[in-house]
Structure 1
Amino acid sequence: MLSHSQNARVSSATSPSRDGREVSRRTNSDTAAPPVQICNTSRGTLAKSAGMPSTGMRERRVNPVGRAATDSVDRATVGGLRLAVLDLEQTANFMVDLVHPQRRVRRPLYLTSANGEVLSRCATEPMTDRLFRAADLINADGQPLVMVSKLRSSKPLPERVATTDLFGVVARKAEELGLTFYMFGANEAENKAAVANVRRAFPALKIVGHCHGYLRGEALRAKVDEINALAPDFLWVALGVPYEQAFVDEYLPRLGNVGAIKTSGGLFNFLSGTLPRAPRWMQIVGLEWAWRLWLEPRRLFWRYLTTNPRALYLLFQQTRPSLTKRD
């Protein structure tokens, strides 16, 4: 796999998808990701090239804004990615501190999360790897990552920072401080149900807006501008990997009034009640993936069959014993 310091050749092709539509494919580790359109198709949310200029977000270590804002956070290299050595409460406090008016920077701070599937995809998909390395902070949202770091690192990851748990902690703090949320992603029914449940759980929380993720073209760009005008302190983007990361890559420059963006994966599926979370004991021992496989075998069987063995290999081969320098 090409490193970020190497020049990669862009290969572009247009090939028919399984349902007969043409899908533009681009692979390149150094150039920007193709602009994102969130399309309503029979296969769900799909990221497509829209022919718009891309932002070209740079890897955090060569991005002065991201470096300055997150320089105080220790990082450990686990499975090939540099992850924040923060527990759940510390991550929530860090996010709240980031959106303070005196800490605001020229753009939103971009936070994302990694699990075994993400490690595997970053190792085999240069574009996904670039999108994750552009994040200002990456949390470990996978118990196996925490477990291996405890075996191999001098300062291991303190705990798993699951986005579903993080959302609740940040929401509680936002209630107390009067901070605002915008919830973007999932389908319309799940989005509405998630927002309704959050409002019941956190009645004082200010949710300034919400929208499903099935938008494209001018409708999507107009929605991004609407979100920016509402200026939420936290924008939760739940489109799935790597579409939510590509969304941030494309639209971050148009969201200058937003405090922080947190990609959220299947967060709204859980908040809406569409999918139940795994029992606590399965989360603790790192078997939440097995629970999800039991719930959605047709969708997840092949994915886990191909990504889990590779992720296990990466965890033991690309986890450093010492802290990564704050670069």
Structure 2
Amino acid sequence: MLDRAPVLAATPTIMLGGLPIAVVTRAQAARQMLDASRSGLRGVRPIYLTSSNGEVIAWAASDKAFAQLLVAADQIVADGQPMVVASRFLCRLPLPERIATTDVFHDVARLAVKSGHSFYFLGATQKENFEAVERVRKAYPELNIAGYSHGFLAGAELDQTLADINALAPDILWLALGVPREQEFIAAHGDKLRQVGVIKTSGGLFNFLSGTNRRAPEWMQRAGLEWAFRIFLEPKRLFWRYLTTNPVSAYLILTRSK
């Protein structure tokens, strides 16, 4: 990975839980994404944007290979309200707000309708991907959607999809494969997507865009309890994950922030 994209280089960062986190508002993050997508790096490499939360912090501390994939990003934003609160007490600069991908997507989409920036949606199952795209089209009928594909690709099908995406040259590729597959995908295939402006890792974004998953109530989001709401909805899948990562991430935030 080359040095951080010049359009993002002036953004201040803090160390939070051992990771460099950008100090930006949602509005700034959305604007920067669009500006970065048409920067001087177009045709050289895609600009790589990702997010961190408690689970990511814990994972990065225990897996050096994953940590290296994370810090290779041009920008990491905080997708966790506890990180925002902790920054006010532990860091030289406070984070102004949480930058949840499920929120910033709509910020970027509204701007892209006016600017003409194009999107590509890569990830999730074929059904989930299609339903997400259809709902986005209804919400933003003038949005330029260059294309879309499910994320279960391999071999010749993957190679062809990558070639197709590069030929379409979308400004922003929303990559929803989950952690750590998204970061591994960029490391493995970023050089085949040089005509893509920005790749934004997106986790479960398409599940929310499709309507399959629900966001927590606003008060729970503000209180940093969205993880509890998600456990309530998916206890079998998420209970053990959060039980093991939340205490670790809390310790790391307390001891590896400045």
The interval holding the TM-score normalised by the smaller chain is over 0.9
For 1:120-157, what per-residue CA distance to the aligned partner results, in whole angstroms no more than 9, with x for missing partners? 00000112111101101000000000000011223111
For 1:241-263, what per-residue CA distance to the aligned partner results, in whole angstroms no more than 9, with x for missing partners? 00011001111101011000000
**Higher share of residues assigned helix:** 2
Q: Which residue of 1 aligns with 2:242?
A: 304
Conserved in 2, the CA contact under 8 Å of 1:188 and 1:211?
yes
Once residues 40 and 60 of structure 2 are traced to their aligned partners in structure 1, the CA distance between those partners, rounded to angstroms, is: 34
Q: Which residue of 2 aligns with 1:135?
A: 73
Conserved in 2, the CA contact under 8 Å of 1:182 and 1:208?
yes
Secondary structure at the residue paired with 1:237?
strand
How much does 1:224 deviate?
Answer: 0.8
* 1:145 has 2:80 as partner: no
* 1:278 has 2:216 as partner: yes
Q: Tell me: CA distance 1:71–1:101, structure 2 relative to 1, closer, same or farther (3 Å).
A: closer
Q: Tell me: CA distance 1:171–1:318, structure 2 relative to 1, closer, same or farther (3 Å).
A: same
* 1:75 has 2:17 as partner: no
Once residues 39 and 222 of structure 2 are traced to their aligned partners in structure 1, the CA distance between those partners, rounded to angstroms, is: 37
Secondary structure at the residue paired with 1:189?
helix
Q: Which residue of 2 aligns with 1:95?
A: 33
Letter in 2 for 1:232: P
Conserved in 2, the CA contact under 8 Å of 1:97 and 1:103?
no
Q: Which residue of 1 aligns with 2:124?
A: 186
Q: Which residue of 2 aligns with 1:106?
A: 44
Q: Which residue of 2 aligns with 1:269?
A: 207
How much does 1:292 deviate?
Answer: 0.5
Residue identity (%):
51
For 1:73-129, what per-residue CA distance to the aligned partner results, in whole angstroms no more than 9, with x for missing partners? 100111100000001000011111112355646211000000000000000011211
Task: Write the mapping of 1:53-64 to structure 2, written as runs, cut at 5 A.
Answer: 57=1, 63-64=2-3
How much does 1:68 deviate?
Answer: 3.4
- Once superposed, what is the RMSD of the aligned Cα atoms? 1.2
Letter in 2 for 1:220: L
How much does 1:308 deviate?
Answer: 0.5
Q: Which residue of 2 aligns with 1:18?
A: none
Once residues 137 and 154 of structure 1 are traced to their aligned partners in structure 2, the CA distance between those partners, rounded to angstroms, is: 18
Secondary structure at the residue paired with 2:44?
coil
Q: Tell me: CA distance 1:283–1:224, structure 2 relative to 1, closer, same or farther (3 Å).
A: same
Task: Write the mapping of 1:180-219 to structure 2, written as runs, cut at 5 A.
Answer: 180-219=118-157
Secondary structure at the residue paired with 1:314?
helix
For 1:207-234, what per-residue CA distance to the aligned partner results, in whole angstroms no more than 9, with x for missing partners? 0100110111121111111100100000
For 1:182-205, what per-residue CA distance to the aligned partner results, in whole angstroms no more than 9, with x for missing partners? 000011111011001101111100
Secondary structure at the residue paired with 2:85?
helix
Task: Write the mapping of 1:191-270 to structure 2, written as runs, cut at 5 A.
Answer: 191-270=129-208
Q: Which residue of 2 aligns with 1:156?
A: 94
Once residues 111 and 42 of structure 2 are traced to their aligned partners in structure 1, the CA distance between those partners, rounded to angstroms, is: 18
Q: Which residue of 2 aligns with 1:86?
A: 24
Structure with more contact order per residue of length (Cα contacts < 8 Å, sep ≥ 6)? 2
Conserved in 2, the CA contact under 8 Å of 1:111 and 1:135?
yes
Once residues 270 and 70 of structure 1 are traced to their aligned partners in structure 2, the CA distance between those partners, rounded to angstroms, is: 28
Letter in 1 for 2:87: S
| TM-score normalised by length of structure 1 | 0.77
Q: Tell me: CA distance 1:306–1:174, structure 2 relative to 1, closer, same or farther (3 Å).
A: same
Once residues 171 and 106 of structure 1 are traced to their aligned partners in structure 2, the CA distance between those partners, rounded to angstroms, is: 25
Conserved in 2, the CA contact under 8 Å of 1:115 and 1:140?
yes
Once residues 103 and 194 of structure 1 are traced to their aligned partners in structure 2, the CA distance between those partners, rounded to angstroms, is: 29
Conserved in 2, the CA contact under 8 Å of 1:112 and 1:138?
yes
Once residues 25 and 250 of structure 2 are traced to their aligned partners in structure 1, the CA distance between those partners, rounded to angstroms, is: 22
Once residues 134 and 305 of structure 1 are traced to their aligned partners in structure 2, the CA distance between those partners, rounded to angstroms, is: 28
Once residues 154 and 45 of structure 2 are traced to their aligned partners in structure 1, the CA distance between those partners, rounded to angstroms, is: 23
Could you list the runs of 4 or more consecutive aligned residues of structure 1 that deviate by over 3 angstroms after TM superposition? 101-105
Instruction: Flag the structure with larger Rg.
Output: 1
Letter in 2 for 1:234: I
| TM-score normalised by length of structure 2 | 0.97
